[in-house]
């Protein structure tokens, strides 16, 4: 009887994935994930394949900074209705549709331009795609939270991640295959067309009942007071709460957030140009780095989740930092070796496994830092800080490769991970000491 009840409970739990809004998150996740690589590593490969310098390619990575500063316009998107569209589609779907159209138009425009003659225009369109994509991220996150109650949030997140990962595979391996057998123009036009999946889903789903905009009565009369109150509650409040809760180590925590991904992101800017410069074809790169690497990333993330559950957050976080820096040294060895698909597969496997593990531990770490009263805002601020310094520093990657070569660049990228290793190690020691002694007044438990 207990066995049947147990089986029935599992079957009932799996039925959450039959909910229409849960299913729709696969397609919205796909729309969210598709543009990311197309303005990052896939774009780097296209430009390098066209013969552009690595320095220029490095500067193009700054387009990704848009994802790191989306927190600044999120409150506007959260509050501002769009003429006509909001009335007919609702607040969330109207912004979602505009963002998706911006992505599709930007990708289509990039496809029709010549990188040698119209590089500046391609850069502007890439910014449009990144801005529209980060705007879409804001709206989809809001939709996901408002569309269902708490019991379905886990299923919504799971299907969103599935769709997002499929999109990364399409925008990575898929674009490479199309470019190999046709052209980069065909690849980017195809990706622009695939945004139709997100557009159709936006028009098909219903607006969440919880997304009705706040009352605008007396807004004109009291706009200064309302703006001041919004700034205190939405911007200052999360910061002040974070510093009050964490005390003297708050700045060290923010420093760790800022530097943890620097080694990984800096290396990633030059990864695809490096593979092409080694002489590998776009098909070979897609086979090894996109398809095989995709599954190794999933495996690394799964392993990271198991380690966090077994040992807590800080030790897997330290392991991830060490592994990411160490695998960059493997790329340095690859750079001075004869090109080999076997060697490439081994190095890429290690890199993706390390990256997946480190990312899982780091997301768990960031989540543990938030206060439930400010979850969305604090997490947005943390995620912005997580990528902004790394994206800025990554823009100089091409200059370093051009001046010193790939082996030295990968050693440099590995060295960038040392501060994060040392800082996480400090937190591990701090945690151990505080577990062995009572916490004094004014201090909190370590992260």
What tens digit of pLDDT does each residue of 411-431 get?
999 999 999 999 999 999 988
- Last residue within a domain, chosen from 176, 206, 236: 206
Domain presence at residue 2:
no
State the CB neighbour count (10 A cutoff) for residue 319: 20
Residues 447 and 341 in one domain: yes
Model's pTM, two decimal places? 0.66
Task: Let me know the angle formed at the C-alpha of 342 by 338 and 345, rounded to the nearest 5 degrees.
Answer: 110
Domain match, 159 and 265 both: no
Alpha helix locations (H) across 112-169?
A: 119-147, 153-169
Cα separation, 365 vs 193, in Å, equals: 37
- pLDDT for position 442: 46
Domain assignment present for residue 4? The answer is no
Closest CA to 358 of 290, 289, 272, 417: 417
54 shares a domain with 193: yes
Please report whether residue 40 resides in a domain. Answer: yes
- Residue 336 included in any domain: yes
* pLDDT the model gives residue 332: 92
Q: Which spans in 182-292 are helix H?
A: 184-194, 196-204, 223-230, 237-246, 250-259, 262-277, 282-285
Length of the chain as a residue count: 447
Same domain, 124 and 240: no
Rounded to whole angstroms, the Cα distance separating 206 from 91 reads 11
Residues 280 and 188 reside in one and the same domain:
no
The reply to whether 318 and 189 lie within a common domain is: no
Same domain, 276 and 340: yes
Nearest to 380 by CA among 143, 129, 138, 39: 138
| Dihedral sign, Cα of residue 312, residue 313, residue 314, residue 317 | positive
Note down the domain range covering 91: 17-206
Same domain? 182 vs 234 = no
Q: Which of 257, 279, 276 is nearest to 380 (CA)?
A: 257
How many domains, the chain? 2
Q: Is residue 218 part of a domain?
A: no
How far is the C-alpha of 159 from the C-alpha of 26, rounded, in Å? 5
What pLDDT score was predicted for residue 265? Answer: 84
Same domain, 198 and 244: no
- HSE (side-chain half, CA atoms, 13 Å) at 229: 6
Tokens of 26: 């696969």
Q: How far apart are CA 169 and CA 352, in angstroms?
A: 14
Instruction: Please check whether residue 288 is in contact with residue 341, taking contact to mean a CB–CB distance below 8 angstroms.
Output: yes
**Cβ atoms within 10 Å of 76's Cβ, excluding its own:** 11
CATH code of residue 314: 1.20.1250.20
Q: Is 250 found in the same domain as 135?
A: no
- Nearest 5°: CA angle at 213, between 207 and 216? 155
Closest CA to 57 of 70, 69, 44, 67: 44
Of 173, 206, 239, the position where a domain reaches its end is: 206
Which pLDDT score, from 0 to 100, does residue 305 have?
A: 73
Which residue numbers in the chain have pLDDT < 50?
A: 1, 3-4, 213-221, 439-446
Give the number of other CB atoms < 10 A from CB of residue 210: 13
Is 6 contained in some domain? no
Is residue 66 included in any domain, yes or no?
yes
Q: Is 212 within the bounds of a domain? A: no
The predicted pLDDT at position 242 comes to 79
Q: Quick one: 180 and 254 in the same domain?
A: no
- Contact between 169 and 270 under an 8 Å Cβ cutoff? The reply is no
Q: Under 8 Å CB-to-CB from 404, ≥6 apart: which residues?
A: 412
Domain final residue, candidates 206, 236, 264: 206
* Distance from the Cα of residue 135 to its chain's centroid: 13
Contacts of 126 (CB under 8 A, 6+ apart): 39, 43, 60, 63, 106, 110
User: CA-to-CA distance for 137 and 162, rounded, in angstroms?
Assistant: 15
Give yes or no: residues 179 and 246 share one domain.
no
């Amino acid at each position: 009887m207990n066995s049947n009840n147990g089986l029935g409970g599992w079957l009932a739990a799996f039925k959450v994935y039959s909910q229409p809004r849960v299913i729709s998150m696969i397609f919205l996740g796909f729309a969210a994930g598709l543009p990311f690589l197309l303005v990052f590593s896939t774009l780097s490969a296209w430009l390098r394949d066209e013969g552009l310098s690595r320095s220029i390619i490095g500067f193009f990575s700054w387009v990704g900074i848009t994802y790191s500063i989306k927190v600044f316009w999120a409150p506007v998107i959260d509050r501002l209705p769009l003429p006509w569209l909001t009335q007919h589609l609702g607040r969330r779907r109207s912004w979602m549709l505009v963002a998706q159209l911006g992505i599709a138009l930007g990708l289509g425009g990039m496809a029709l331009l010549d990188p040698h003659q119209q590089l500046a225009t391609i850069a502007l369109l890439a910014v449009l795609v990144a801005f529209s994509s980060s705007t879409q991220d804001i709206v989809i996150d809001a939709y996901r939270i408002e569309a269902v109650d708490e019991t379905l949030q886990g299923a919504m997140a799971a299907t969103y991640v599935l769709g997002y990962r499929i999109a990364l595979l399409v925008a990575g391996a898929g674009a490479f295959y199309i470019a190999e057998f046709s052209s980069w123009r065909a690849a980017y036009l195809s990706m622009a067309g695939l945004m139709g999946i997100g557009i159709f889903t936006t028009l098909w789903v219903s607006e969440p009942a919880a997304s009705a905009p706040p009352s605008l009565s007396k807004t004109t009369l009291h706009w200064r007071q309302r703006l001041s109150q919004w700034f205190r509650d939405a911007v200052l409040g999360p910061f002040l709460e974070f510093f009050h809760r964490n005390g003297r180590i708050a700045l060290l925590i923010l420093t760790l957030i800022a530097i943890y991904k620097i080694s990984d992101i800096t290396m990633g800017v030059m990864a695809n140009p490096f593979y092409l410069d080694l002489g590998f074809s776009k098909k070979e790169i897609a086979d090894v780095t996109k398809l095989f690497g995709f599954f190794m990333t999933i495996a690394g993330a799964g392993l990271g989740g198991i380690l966090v559950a077994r040992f807590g957050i800080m030790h897997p976080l330290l392991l991830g930092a060490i592994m990411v820096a160490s695998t960059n040294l493997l790329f340095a060895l690859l750079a001075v070796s004869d090109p080999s698909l076997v060697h490439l597969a081994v190095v890429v496997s290690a890199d993706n496994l390390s990256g997946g593990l480190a990312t899982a531990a780091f997301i768990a770490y960031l989540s543990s830092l938030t206060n439930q009263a400010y979850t969305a805002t604090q997490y947005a601020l943390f995620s912005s800080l997580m990528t902004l310094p790394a994206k800025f520093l990554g823009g100089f990657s091409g200059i370093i490769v051009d001046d010193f070569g790939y082996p030295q660049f990968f050693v440099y990228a590995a060295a960038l991970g040392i501060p994060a290793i040392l800082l996480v190690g400090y937190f591990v020691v701090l945690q151990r000491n505080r577990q062995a002694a009572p916490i004094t007044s004014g201090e909190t438990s370590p992260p």
